[in-house]
A and B are shown apart, each in its own frame.
Chain A
Amino acid sequence: MSIPKKDITVVLVGNPNIGKSTIFNSLTGANQSVGNYPGVTVEKKDGFKSHRGYNINFVDLPGIYSLSAYSDDEIVSRDFLVNEKLDIVINVIDASKMERSLYLFTQIVELGISVMIVLNMIDILGLQGKVIDKEMMSNLLGVPVFIALTNKDIGITSILDYIVDVVEEGKLKKQITAKVDYGENIKEEIDKLEKLISKDPQLSKFPKSWLSIKLLDNDPLALKLVCKTDKKSIILSQLDRSREHIKRHFGNGVGTEIADRRYGFANSVVKTVIKKTDKKKIDMTEIIDNFVLNKYLGTPIFVIIIYIIFKFAFVFSEPIVNIFEKLFERLSDVVRSVILEELTRSLVVDGIIGGLSGVLGFFPLILLMFLAIAFFEDSGYMARAAFVMDKIMSKFGLHGKSFLPLMISTNGCAVPGILSTRTLDSKRDRIITMFVVPFMICGAKLPVCALITGAFFSSKNRANIMSLIYILSVIIAFATAKILSKTLLKGEPAHFVMELPPYHMPQIKGLLLKMWERSWLYLRKAGTVVVFMSVLVWAVFAYPRAPVDENLTKSEKAAVQLKYGLAGRAGKILEPLFKPIGMDASRTIAFVAGLAAKETIVSTLGTIYSIEGSNSCNSKSLRKKIACDEDWSPLKGLSFLVFCLIYTPCAMCVIVFFKESGSSYRYLALIVVGNAVFAWVTSFVVFQIGTLLKIGV
């Protein structure tokens, strides 16, 4: 194109749970990137779209109810709106809860930015037997109003057209007429404050009326702004007088009074714009909620849904996992025949392919797991589940919302689990949840459990033992949460106030995007850390080379190399430490390798046993080799498993934990050293009691 493309920045703002990301997805397509706002752990979503020769950059702000400073989400959103240079704000409004959406709208208008409204959830409004007059709303507010029809493309194109029109003409077609009437008394005080603010050069950069309203509302950030300037004493004393005056006049606090006025405005808009028709359809949400939130049925339904998620992931991933396994076997056969030199062949087959297959083997399971979770999340059930679980969770010092991170971590991955703790409001709840998330059996610990249960228990009991281990992991997690909330992180979990969005069928595109975002974190770890680590583990076993003795057989040579290598020596040194919990040198090495990634525990054992050709058992599978080995016993297996469940989480997880916990070295030390000690003590107790009682020796 001859004309250089111009950039347009468009911001999406709206309440949580109103389908804002659905609109964002259909506006941008798959051209999205997820990042972080500097300094805070709030997700930043960007998306790009080319339209009529313009590059439109969409920014999806986190879902908020108002523009104040009580949570990170709110601070980030209002900083973005106030400080960044943006062309237009799209305010997504939920037509079925218009009053509350307009409450946010009034605050955006006060900032003095160009706004357009996109109405969503029109279908739910229809269910309530109401219709909305789009034209009247547009005339009343002086703001363009669009209706999002995401299943048809027409709505989206007209929105894009409008955005480009606005930028070309330089201003909105209509003058914003929406203005909240705060009443004479408050208005007088606002005027007084405005005069003072306009005298100060620093403060007059900001929208004056907005700043004065925020000051009256006792907004911490606005107060901080004022405290930095020279006129602070004058403004603050005027502020005190104003607040006192309003309080005496109305009997209420200023905050309540301002909110009341804003809602009054929103209410009057809703009354003129929304018309009732007689037809009221049956609301499915109410019917489903009668069962889901029921005191007696709620918990059983929750358990059933968790079961469905697991079952879905396991059943459908099995054929794909099998295909993957065969693919990797074929690949290593091919490599074996191509590369003839022994050392290189060993590096590629045992190191790289072995490591990759360990990770990718479980990738389909994780992918489907995340898909199922995303489905229940987007359909609106997870908010109910958090409510149902809150009663139990709060007893252990956790918040109802903490269960989603735990859920993502179970069979999934702890890294996206930790990242999803961002939905928790209080820092204390977040840190406790982040501590216990790694205790769950993630996709990487699953093979360890499968290996041990497979080796020592008959196929009849296997499923039961596996469920017992899952329950054990939950008990460990909850007990730790309880201990933490009693000692290090004292206090009550944050108040549980949560909106229950109406149920709706999730958009497939949105589900896939969500699934991919979370699995990508797992895959990235797999691609980098795990492959690197498995090569490293291989190298530590293979070097330094043992002196060649021609008299030995091939398997004897391998056994000598195993002891001679760096890993063998390190294992020998560390062995006394792990002897009391029933571990030998090879398992000690597996634990050390597991610090990098839990996937490597199984692959390291595999490497050891494949080199250890002297094993009396001639079976191919690692499971049978372990079952034959005299040095293993069911009790040692259990002790091994318990240690694996509890000890220091993988490197990637620790790094993410460190970043998300606000770069606190104290918590870092606790999760690295504390967990290792905790694991050792627990295993010690299990092993010693078992030995004394002669169970499974």
Chain B
Amino acid sequence: MKRFRRILRYIYGCLHRHSRKPHFYRHMNNRHIHRGMKGRYCNYDHFHRNIHVFRSFNEDVANNFTKLSCASPGRYELFEAYCDRKLRHRLLEMGFVPGEDLAVIDNSSLSGGGGVVIKIKGAKIALSSEVADKILLREKKNN
């Protein structure tokens, strides 16, 4: 029975590994499962190598920041982009500096697939939902 449960877990883990990218490990309980499996069935190297990134990412999500992919149209302030260096550089040079004002114009990833259109530094920029998932926003205070 124990072995059977393990096999089930293994299948579950593998399915999730394919359907979700590392950034999507939003909930702590998901991570428990994977940690339990470590070194036994699946190789979670990519996951553990970047674990500090996800930890702070998860903390930030918990601290009432919004992911760009979940943001409804409105004014926000850019907090941070959690991504690899190449994309970070690309975002930086397009004006995604932490603390910058950002307006979400249209977000079709809220209702099933699609991308996000935002305005930053006077430029209109379209992002796919994968990229938008890695960008954290802070609600802009009205003052």
A residues adjacent to B (C-beta < 8 A): 65-66, 68, 70, 96-100, 103, 218, 252, 255-256, 259-260, 263, 285, 289, 293-295, 383-384, 387, 390-391, 394, 400, 492, 495-502
Interface string of B87-101 (1 = CB under 8 A from A): 111111111011110
- Tell me whether B113 and A391 are in contact (CB under 8 A): yes
> Does B37 sit at the interface, judged by CB under 8 A?
no
- Tell me whether B89 and A68 are in contact (CB under 8 A): yes
> Does B72 sit at the interface, judged by CB under 8 A?
no
Interface string of B118-129 (1 = CB under 8 A from A): 000111111110
Asked whether A293 and B106 contact (CB < 8 A) given A255-B92, A259-B97, A497-B131, the answer is yes
Q: What are the 10 tightest A-B residue pairs by CB atom distance, in nearest-first order?
A: A496-B128, A65-B93, A66-B93, A387-B126, A500-B124, A295-B108, A97-B122, A259-B92, A97-B123, A495-B131
> Does B5 sit at the interface, judged by CB under 8 A?
no
- Tell me whether B97 and A260 are in contact (CB under 8 A): yes
- Contact for B94 among A96, A496, A497, CB less than 8 A: A497
Interface size of B as a range: 20 to 34
Q: How far is the CB of A270 from chain B (nearest CB, A)?
A: 9
Which residues of chain B are near A400, meaning CB under 8 Å? 128
Which residues of chain B are near A260, meaning CB under 8 Å? 97-99
| Consensus secondary structure, chain B interface | mixed
Which residues of chain B are near A96, meaning CB under 8 Å? 122
Most A CB contacts (10 A, CB to CB) among B87, B94, B111 go to: B94
- Distance, CA A98 to CA B117, complexed state (A): 20
10 A-B pairs within 8 Å (CB atoms) are namely A66-B93, A68-B89, A103-B95, A255-B92, A289-B124, A390-B128, A391-B113, A496-B127, A499-B123, A499-B124
User: Please, which residue of chain B has its CB at the minimum distance from the CB of A71?
Assistant: B90
- Tell me whether A497 and B89 are in contact (CB under 8 A): no
Asked whether A100 and B86 contact (CB < 8 A) given A496-B126, A496-B127, the answer is no
> Does B13 sit at the interface, judged by CB under 8 A?
no
Most B CB contacts (10 A, CB to CB) among A66, A383, A492, A502 go to: A66
Which residues of chain A are near B91, meaning CB under 8 Å? 497
- Tell me whether B117 and A293 are in contact (CB under 8 A): yes
* Interface contacts beyond A97-B121, A499-B124: sample of 4 additional A-B pairs, CB < 8 Å, sorted by A: A100-B94, A387-B115, A390-B128, A495-B83
- Contact for A259 among B85, B93, B117, B127, CB less than 8 A: B93
> Does B77 sit at the interface, judged by CB under 8 A?
no
Which residues of chain A are near B99, meaning CB under 8 Å? 260
- Distance, CA A400 to CA B94, complexed state (A): 19
- Distance, CA A260 to CA B91, complexed state (A): 12
Which residues of chain B are near A496, meaning CB under 8 Å? 115, 126-128, 130-131
> Does B74 sit at the interface, judged by CB under 8 A?
no
- Contact for A103 among B93, B108, B113, B125, CB less than 8 A: B93
- Tell me whether B115 and A391 are in contact (CB under 8 A): yes
Q: How far is the CB of A525 from chain B (nearest CB, A)?
A: 35
User: Please, which residue of chain B has its CB at the minimum distance from the CB of A498?
Assistant: B126
Q: How far is the CB of B105 from chain A (nearest CB, A)?
A: 8
Q: How far is the CB of B22 from chain A (nearest CB, A)?
A: 12
- Distance, CA A400 to CA B95, complexed state (A): 22
Identify which of residues 61-114 in chain B touch chain A, using a CB-to-CB cut-off of 8 Å: 83, 85-95, 97-100, 105-106, 108, 111, 113-114
Q: How far is the CB of A637 from chain B (nearest CB, A)?
A: 40
- Distance, CA A492 to CA B95, complexed state (A): 24
